[in-house]
Amino acid sequence: MSGSPWVNPITAASRTVPDMIAFPFRGTRQQVITGKSIFLRHPDIADHTEWAALREESQAFLRPWEPTWPDDDLSRAAFRGRIRRYNQEITAGTGFPFFICSGQNGAILGGITLGNVRRGVSQCGQIGYWMGERYGGKGVMSEAVGLLCDHSFRAIGLHRLEAACIPDNTRSIRILEKAGFAREGYLRSYLKINGAWRDHVLYARINPLHEHMGLKAKQGEAV
């Protein structure tokens, strides 16, 4: 092989991206991803009170961008069902929900999920996220998206990540573009958000290691 030595873009990125570690946290399947000022961990039934309080105080801020909340959405029973579904998805490897927590005191600041994970020929997943209103505008979600991308590409081994936003969600679009997502298309009447079918813009990011391997394969070099 000739030319300048290849630099693994993921390893190189990780010099500036904080460490990711996995260790037991309130259970054997817990995964904790640590960043500079936050960490990501899976939701737990013990989080109900704190989660419900944050969602309730932020509802005017969140509801315009989310599917309609069922009447009992903040109840303990509904949360228990949510945790049960999350655990099934984690076990099946189809979804990886995380709470975004303060590195200072562990408080829940928001949530971020890698969902709809498809293996086989796709190796693709979709990310979605929300912040508690009082924690918004401080760069927290930008850090969380960076951590989840790194985890999805390095630890889970996905090839492609997708995210869809309502076109006028400028904050969300800014986060994705900063994280290296590219706009790929316009999805008409894609998701029912706050009671109405809304158009979305589709953003995607390809695993940088795989992009490089694809290029090498096209050039006929050994990978």
Ligand X SMILES: CC(C)(COP(=O)(O)OP(=O)(O)OC[C@H]1O[C@@H](n2cnc3c(N)ncnc32)[C@H](O)[C@@H]1OP(=O)(O)O)[C@@H](O)C(=O)NCCC(=O)NCCS
Residues that bind ligand X (CB under 6 A): 61-62, 65, 129-131, 136-142, 165, 169-172, 174-175, 178
Residue 28 beta carbon to ligand X: minimum distance, rounded to whole angstroms:
30
Tell me how far, at minimum, the Cβ of 100 lies from ligand X, in Å: 9
Residue 102 CB contacts under 8 Å (≥ 6 apart), including other chains:
37, 38, 109
Residue closer to ligand X (CB basis): 52 or 209:
52
Of 217, 176, 212, the closest CA to residue 11 belongs to: 212
Taking the least distance from each CB to ligand X, the nearer of 84 and 192 is 192
Minimum CB distance to ligand X, residue 135 (Å): 7
Q: Compute the least distance from the CB of residue 6 to ligand X, in Å.
A: 31
Q: Which residues, in sequence order, are bridge partners of residue 34? A: 39
87 or 150: whose CB is closer to ligand X?
150
Nearer Cβ to ligand X (87/169): 169
* Secondary-structure percent of the chain, ordered helix, strand, coil, rounded to 5: 35, 30, 35
First vs last C-alpha separation in the chain:
10
Partnered with residue 196 across adjacent β-strands are 193
**Cα separation of 72 and 57, whole Å?**
16
What does residue 98 show for φ and ψ, rounded to 5 degrees?
-135, 145
Question: Per the structure block, which two tokens stand in for 55?
Answer: 């969602």
Q: Of 65 and 69, which has the nearer Cβ to ligand X? A: 65
Please, what is the minimum distance in Å from the beta carbon of residue 64 to ligand X? 8
